[in-house]
Amino acid sequence: MAELKMTQREMMEHIYSLEERLTQVEKLLQSSNSKVRSMETNLPAGTGEPEMAFANPLSESKVFEHGLAWIGSAVLLLGMIFTMLLVNNLFGGIAAFVLGISSAVLTFYLSTILKKSLTYMAFMFTICAHLLIYYALMRLHFFTETPVITNEWIVVSLLLGSVGFLFYKADLAKSQLMGFIAYFLLIVTALFIDQTQATLLLFVAATITVIYLLYRHGWDSLLILSIFIIYIGHTLWLVGNPLMGHPVGAVKAPQYNLIYLLLYGAIYSVVPFLKQQGKLSAEVCNATIILNSLAFSILLLLVVLTFYSKDYLLIFLGISLMCLIYAIVLNYKIESRFDSFFYVNFGFMALSIAVYGYSALPGSYLFLAWQSMVVLAIAIWFRSNLIVLMNTLLYTVILVAYLITSKSIDSYNISFTMIAIASARILNWKQSRLELKTASIRNFYLIITFFVMLFTLNQAVAVDYVTISWGLAAVAYMVMSAILRNVKYRWLAFLTLLAAVIHLFIFDISKMGVGYRILAFIFVGITILGVSFYYTKKLKSSKIV
């Protein structure tokens, strides 16, 4: 009976617990119902109960409110433009201008009336009003057979004033869409001017404005889109500005456009500092750096091919110097390693082009090979594994290109060999600084050393002494192994001796004279025995690294 009573108590406790939970659920349902009623009271009269779609703004609210506002505003704007064109043909430019300004004022007034009840439609009406003002002002001089105002600069000043006012409204309303429209109109106005210095100067002003708006509001979409627009605008200028009816073709003189191109690239390059201040994400910053460098490189290539195809050394040398200096600044000021890594590689890419301009192939191969040592030093300074990997790839590409495209040059062969050995030793020396967890890159350089050393000696000495020279190289590896206490050089010595034996039996035995053949066999045999004796007596007790 006691056990049964305990069971009844437990059941009663569970029932009380369930009642408390039901009470809490009822309270939650009552609060949600009150919220729904408050939403219903705010609906316009006659709308009835909210439908299921009302709870999902993406399905109906966004489409009908925003989408239709976009479409309706665009249709209305085009209708007003066509009306202005008709009035211009019937009554002249002044009447069309008055109609355009009057329509803009009326649209502004409608926007003010609808601001509280239909916020997004009022917003779209404001944009339409600004576009109507811009179009009305533009038609005073541009794209008309009988300009109302013959002085181009008066109309340009009015256009810039309207664009500046739109920038002000965008900043005030914190509207990225308004900011983009104002930016686009500023680029278009610059092209309307059709005078190089004024056009390109406005391009620079537009780029600075984008960075300013990014700093104030974090408008990263505008930042990305502006990269495409600014470089497309410069390209339009470069091909003769067909927007103004000119035939497509490269401009005849550079007119200092390279300076403006460098300014675009430099202005967009400040984004790592804005990222550091939290104005944009790391992903957007990296995308901006990459897109800016790609667009800048493509346009720079067009400019160089058009104007500086025979004299580009100083251009790329200057770009390289600026990028390397900026990479050093970023390395100490910015936490992200990607920023400094990217500008280091871009700088050395520009330096490689400058080297090619200074000394054409095959002379460039030697300078580029030694340049890889400078890159490695920068990588150690910056503690960047990425730069080490890129430098390894650079060295390998240069070496393969030299072996394929150039005849063998002893000084070049020796340089490639010494660079491989030195790179391996530097990486081993500074591996803790670089935080390299494996020795794969060092091993790669040593493998290159092995093959390039054989190739170098094969090309540098007479045919009869190739095997002997390889034997001497094996002795040199053993000496390095003893000094550095590193087993990897002993493996190089063993493989080199093996290569010498193979060369001796396959090539030398049939082609060498009797005297040279005897000398080679004796020397290689003594070398092998000597290495074996030295290893057995001296190295077994030493610590192998």
Question: Mapped to the 3 state alphabet, what secondary structure does 194-247 carry?
Answer: CCHHHHHHHHHHHHHHHHHHHHHHCCHHHHHHHHHHHHHHHHHHHCCCHHHCCC
**% of the chain at pLDDT higher than 90:** 25
Among 173-187, 246-260, 337-351, 379-393, the minimum mean pLDDT is found in: 379-393
Among 4-13, 164-173, 213-222, the minimum mean pLDDT is found in: 4-13
Q: What's the rounded mean pLDDT across residues 41-68?
A: 46
Smallest CA-to-CA distance from 337 within 393, 284, 386 is with 386
Among 157-161, 204-208, 347-351, 458-462, the minimum mean pLDDT is found in: 458-462
> Which pLDDT does position 55 carry in this prediction?
41
Structural domain for 545, as ranges = 461-545
For the entire predicted model, the pTM comes to 0.73
Q: Is residue 524 part of a domain?
A: yes
Query: Which segment, 304-308, 337-341, 420-424, is predicted with the most confidence on average?
Result: 304-308
Q: What's the rounded mean pLDDT across residues 148-158?
A: 91
For residues 121 and 182, which has the higher predicted lDDT (pLDDT)? 182
Contact 218, 280 (CB under 8 A): yes
Q: Is residue 506 part of a domain?
A: yes
For residues 409 and 69, which has the higher predicted lDDT (pLDDT)? 409
Q: Is residue 291 part of a domain?
A: no
Among 62-66, 371-375, 493-497, the minimum mean pLDDT is found in: 62-66
| pLDDT bucket at 39, cuts 50 / 70 / 90 | very low
Q: Is residue 389 part of a domain?
A: no
Q: Is residue 503 part of a domain?
A: yes
| pLDDT bucket at 223, cuts 50 / 70 / 90 | very high
- Distance separating alpha carbons of residues 377 and 383, to the nearest angstrom: 10
Question: Does position 233 have pLDDT exceeding 90, yes or no?
Answer: yes
Which residues, in sequence order, are CB contacts of 534 under 8 Å at separation 6+?
A: 478
Contact 401, 446 (CB under 8 A): no
Count the Cβ atoms, other than its own, within 10 Å of residue 208: 13
Q: What's the rounded mean pLDDT across residues 375-389?
A: 78
Question: Does position 283 have pLDDT exceeding 60, yes or no?
Answer: yes
State the amino acid at position 86 in one-letter form: L
Among 69-73, 308-312, 356-360, the minimum mean pLDDT is found in: 69-73
Among 22-26, 200-204, 209-213, the minimum mean pLDDT is found in: 22-26
> Which pLDDT does position 21 carry in this prediction?
61
Q: What is the maximum span of the chain, computed from C-alpha positions, in angstroms?
A: 117
- Distance separating alpha carbons of residues 285 and 342, to the nearest angstrom: 12
Query: Which segment, 9-18, 27-36, 51-60, 423-432, is predicted with the most confidence on average?
Result: 423-432
Q: Is residue 292 part of a domain?
A: no
Torsion angle, CA of 61/67/69/75, rounded to 10 degrees? -160
> Which pLDDT does position 96 carry in this prediction?
87
Q: Is residue 500 part of a domain?
A: yes
Q: What's the rounded mean pLDDT across residues 325-336?
A: 86
pLDDT tens for residues 76-124? 778 888 888 888 888 888 998 899 898 888 888 888 887 777 777 788 8
Q: What's the rounded mean pLDDT across residues 309-321?
A: 88
- Distance separating alpha carbons of residues 508 and 492, to the nearest angstrom: 22
Ramachandran region, residue 151 (left: φ > 0; alpha: ψ -120 to 50; beta: rest): beta
For residues 3 and 235, which has the higher predicted lDDT (pLDDT)? 235
Question: Does position 37 have pLDDT exceeding 60, yes or no?
Answer: no
SS3 state at 256: coil
Question: Does position 388 have pLDDT exceeding 90, yes or no?
Answer: no
Count of domains forming the chain: 1
Query: Which segment, 93-107, 284-298, 346-360, 433-447, is predicted with the most confidence on average?
Result: 284-298
> Which pLDDT does position 36 carry in this prediction?
41
For residues 487 and 217, which has the higher predicted lDDT (pLDDT)? 217
Q: Is residue 533 part of a domain?
A: yes
